[in-house]
Structure 1
Amino acid sequence: MSKQQSMLPVVVIWLAGVGAAGQFAKISVTFDHVGNAYPEAGARLGFALSILGLAGIFLGVVAGVLATKIGMRRTLIGGLGLSAAVSFVQALGLSFDAFLLSRVIEGLAHLAIVVAAPTLIAKVSPPEKRAFSLTLWGTFFGVAFALFAWVGRPLVEVFGLNAMYFAHGVWMAASVLGVATIGLPDERAFEVTDALLTLGGVLKQHWVVYRSPFMNAAAVGWLFYTFCFVSLLTLLPPFIAPEWRTFTVGAMPLMSMISSMTLGVWLLRFWRTVHVIQTGFLISAGAALALILVPGSPFACLVLAGALGLIQGASFALVPELNDTAADRANANGVFAQAGNFGNTIGTPILLAVVAVSGYGGLMLVSAILLLIGAALHLVLERARARA
């Protein structure tokens, strides 16, 4: 069996993606420890998590174009290498301002990884397993949060934050070696004209991608998913009973992964991908509303996480389903990353403000409304594609 027919490259890229998601998880899951390490940060502490998404917000589509020109394999290796270097520097112990600067650089690495990795998975996965492979890729955030909750926090509590940063750097360095040695395609067939890299070309490309109900479909829903996912994993724990808190916080991302890989994969055999995503939005909105009636219920939290897992895996599968060429997929993954980083960046500060104004009930009500909007927009885009 050739390497392109094997699932080994998919698994190696997925493991690299888990490390990329760790760039968010290592701050979100240990947020209290980060606050203790930087007591002078004050209200700026939230930027330690959200500033990672700046590069993706402004450069998501540009990254899709550049990755197509540079080559997906080289883009992925470059992003992994930069991420490893940044984590090793963070392990040295930095002032808060220097730490924020390192997070901005880390955001560039994250963007390169999340644009190149799913595009490569769609190319190297056996055709009959492509939906499964992209669903597996979609679990990388959930797996990372579970690992950092169950392994990262104990590591920090015994050895400190710097040990966790060093361990993350080792993971990313190992990912560089793995990706470099599995024989991924060089992608030299991808050509991008220099005109696309001018300011006018970049703006035109944004317009082309934004107005396409095929290239922007996954990204639109992903914006509302990411707005809620990281924010709720960060803000829900204080409202869960202490005796259930550690278990629930660790089990939520794991439940998301299990749901995506079992129920999600099964539903994709019978339903259209967009309908699986819509179902995930509707169930997760219902779970958020239920959490108003049963505050901090571990069961309701796990239902919420499971429903979010349906959105997670199917959203990545939607990109190659709606976009035939590698260039269109790269553009779709670029705006996908842009939307995800925007959601991750603004989600926690906005929902934190909601908690300050209206408490726990406001947090869950606003989350439910946003999830319902995500379902509605997928319906609008589905009808636009039908007209096209």
Structure 2
Amino acid sequence: MTETTSFLRVFALWAAGLGAAAQYGKMSVIFDLLPGLYPQAGASLGFLVSLVGSVGILLGVVAGLMVARIRYRRALLSALWLGAGVSVFQALTPGFGWMLTSRVVEGLSHLAIVVAAPTLIAQLSAPKDRGFTLTLWGTFFGVAFAILALAGRPLALSLGLPALFAAHALYMAACALVLAASLRRLPSEEPQPPFSLPQIFRDHLTIYRSPFLSAPAAGWLFYTFSFVSILTVLPPYLDEAWRAPVMAAMPLTSIAVSMTLGVLLLRRLPAVQVVQMGFGLSALSMAWLWLSPGAPLACIALAGAMGLIQGASFTAVPQLNQGAAAQAQANGAVAQMGNLGNSIGTPIMAFGLATLGASALPLLAGGAFLMGLGAHVLLAAARRRSRRVPV
């Protein structure tokens, strides 16, 4: 365990995370432009966005197991170079079928990065700094989407879609070169059992039976279910005069709270308790929105409460699990459950709104927050029963 934090390497790994998030988000910010590239694709264009997440649902835990076996530096650098190559291929604007295939490959690159990078950040951070460094990591999606909206989309509009893909390729390659040099000396890694399909099946059972390995992923499922779906379906329920500023402020508030109040709380409380606090306050914020539909302050309060869940969930991984291999397994489960939550949240919320009306939003999202809180309470009780030190 390191006693001093290598902040330069932590920030370099976070930068790689921005590139991984851009793999997911670059198609989202230009989605309305894709029909011009593939006019015959129709509704199938949605797969260009969702395929990366679908790979995560299927192979999230497998990625955690594989990364531990082939070693974190090697896995991360290979994934970055693979991601750069895929973006170069996409810049050539291949046929629709080939573009879909490239998104599957990109999903594999994305998974390896989001498993290896936070595992390495935990290894390179002193325990006292992990609240900050892993909360920083937790901002990678929000920051990347903001950059894509502010710079990526204008680039695509002015120079064409290939320019965005080419810029992403250059960014991924630059991250690979920086990290290849900066990650030469890493903490020693424990040996792993040989890779086999039966071993992967056993490891799945081990992860999801363990109240230590599975806890961060269990909460993350309910967080991602709510976060993405709320940001997607909320705008029509806001007053038009407040709609744009509130929707812009919500993700920024979430990031700001996680990096300030969240980091402060993590210096004083175990990460799981901060996550539970975030879920409880998020549920109360949804009750506020139920009583005052579309209230701007309630929306901002909700975003702030969710910010506590964001960083503390990643910090819980090393607090609950000792050793890089166990942390990679837990991060793989987080990736799997996060992609599942992202994928099912919006369709379920949309169906609820169509059948129940506006009350579906506080009911479904509030219920998800309470289930996230309940999952952590039950898993904490299971950890106490195991006679290990509770966290």
Q: What is the TM-score when the length of structure 2 is the normalising length?
A: 0.89
Alpha-carbon distance in structure 1 between the residues aligned to 2:77 and 2:333: 21
1:369 corresponds, among 349, 363, 367, to: 367
Of residues 83-92 and 153-162 in structure 1, the stretch that sits farther from structure 2 once superposed is 153-162
Of residues 19-28 and 256-265 in structure 1, the stretch that sits farther from structure 2 once superposed is 19-28
Q: Which amino acid aligns with 1:138?
A: G
Q: Following TM superposition, by how much is the alpha carbon of 1:188 offset from its aligned partner in structure 2, in angstroms?
A: 6.0
Show the counterpart of 1:162. 162
Distance 1:155 1:284, change over 3 A: farther
Show the counterpart of 1:149. 149
Alpha-carbon distance in structure 1 between the residues aligned to 2:352 and 2:105: 29
1:322 corresponds, among 316, 320, 323, to: 320
Distance 1:251 1:175, change over 3 A: farther
Alignment of 1:36-115 (within 5 A): 38=38, 40-115=40-115
Show the counterpart of 1:251. 249
Alignment of 1:1-388 (within 5 A): 5-34=5-34, 38=38, 40-185=40-185, 189-194=189-194, 197-241=195-239, 244-388=242-386
Q: Following TM superposition, by how much is the alpha carbon of 1:359 offset from its aligned partner in structure 2, in angstroms?
A: 4.6
The Cα offsets for residues 225-282 of structure 1, whole Å up to 9 and x where unpaired, read as 1122233334434554555544444432222111111010111122221121112112
User: Aligned pair count?
Assistant: 385
Show the counterpart of 2:389. none
What SS class does the counterpart of residue 178 from structure 1 fall into?
A: helix
Of residues 247-256 and 306-315 in structure 1, the stretch that sits farther from structure 2 once superposed is 247-256
Alpha-carbon distance in structure 2 between the residues aligned to 1:344 and 1:94: 27
Alpha-carbon distance in structure 2 between the residues aligned to 1:186 and 1:85: 26
What SS class does the counterpart of residue 271 from structure 1 fall into?
A: coil
The Cα offsets for residues 184-218 of structure 1, whole Å up to 9 and x where unpaired, read as 44566331122xx2221111111111100001010
Q: Which amino acid aligns with 1:107?
A: G
Alpha-carbon distance in structure 2 between the residues aligned to 1:45 and 1:263: 40
Of residues 80-89 and 150-159 in structure 1, the stretch that sits farther from structure 2 once superposed is 150-159
Is the Cα contact below 8 Å between 2:5 and 2:129 reproduced in 1?
A: no
Distance 1:135 1:353, change over 3 A: same
Q: Which amino acid aligns with 1:309?
A: G
Gaps of 5+ in 1: none
Is the Cα contact below 8 Å between 1:139 and 1:309 reproduced in 2?
A: no
Distance 1:123 1:202, change over 3 A: same
Q: Following TM superposition, by how much is the alpha carbon of 1:289 offset from its aligned partner in structure 2, in angstroms?
A: 4.0
Q: Following TM superposition, by how much is the alpha carbon of 1:318 offset from its aligned partner in structure 2, in angstroms?
A: 0.2
Distance 1:98 1:136, change over 3 A: same
The Cα offsets for residues 145-182 of structure 1, whole Å up to 9 and x where unpaired, read as 22223333333443443333332222222211121121
Distance 1:295 1:48, change over 3 A: farther
Alpha-carbon distance in structure 1 between the residues aligned to 2:66 and 2:304: 35
Distance 1:180 1:203, change over 3 A: same
Alpha-carbon distance in structure 2 between the residues aligned to 1:251 and 1:159: 29
Is the Cα contact below 8 Å between 1:150 and 1:250 reproduced in 2?
A: no
Is the Cα contact below 8 Å between 1:80 and 1:173 reproduced in 2?
A: yes
The Cα offsets for residues 269-313 of structure 1, whole Å up to 9 and x where unpaired, read as 222211211121122233334344555444333322222211110
Distance 1:88 1:349, change over 3 A: farther
Of residues 88-97 and 378-387 in structure 1, the stretch that sits farther from structure 2 once superposed is 88-97
Q: Which amino acid aligns with 1:220?
A: A
Is the Cα contact below 8 Å between 1:284 and 1:304 reproduced in 2?
A: yes
Q: Following TM superposition, by how much is the alpha carbon of 1:49 offset from its aligned partner in structure 2, in angstroms?
A: 2.4
Alpha-carbon distance in structure 2 between the residues aligned to 1:33 and 1:288: 34
Alpha-carbon distance in structure 2 between the residues aligned to 1:184 and 1:297: 51
Q: Which amino acid aligns with 1:375?
A: L
Of residues 365-374 and 162-171 in structure 1, the stretch that sits farther from structure 2 once superposed is 162-171
Alpha-carbon distance in structure 1 between the residues aligned to 2:299 and 2:173: 34
Is the Cα contact below 8 Å between 1:12 and 1:179 reproduced in 2?
A: yes
What SS class does the counterpart of residue 214 from structure 1 fall into?
A: coil
Is the Cα contact below 8 Å between 1:52 and 1:345 reproduced in 2?
A: no
Q: What is the TM-score when the length of structure 1 is the normalising length?
A: 0.90
The Cα offsets for residues 345-365 of structure 1, whole Å up to 9 and x where unpaired, read as 222333343344445442443
Alpha-carbon distance in structure 1 between the residues aligned to 2:129 and 2:232: 33
The Cα offsets for residues 40-83 of structure 1, whole Å up to 9 and x where unpaired, read as 44443433322212222222222222211211011111111112
Of residues 249-258 and 283-292 in structure 1, the stretch that sits farther from structure 2 once superposed is 283-292
Gaps of 5+ in 2: 387-391
What SS class does the counterpart of residue 130 from structure 1 fall into?
A: helix
Alpha-carbon distance in structure 2 between the residues aligned to 1:236 and 1:386: 39
Alpha-carbon distance in structure 2 between the residues aligned to 1:292 and 1:161: 41
Alignment RMSD: 2.6
Distance 1:35 1:359, change over 3 A: farther
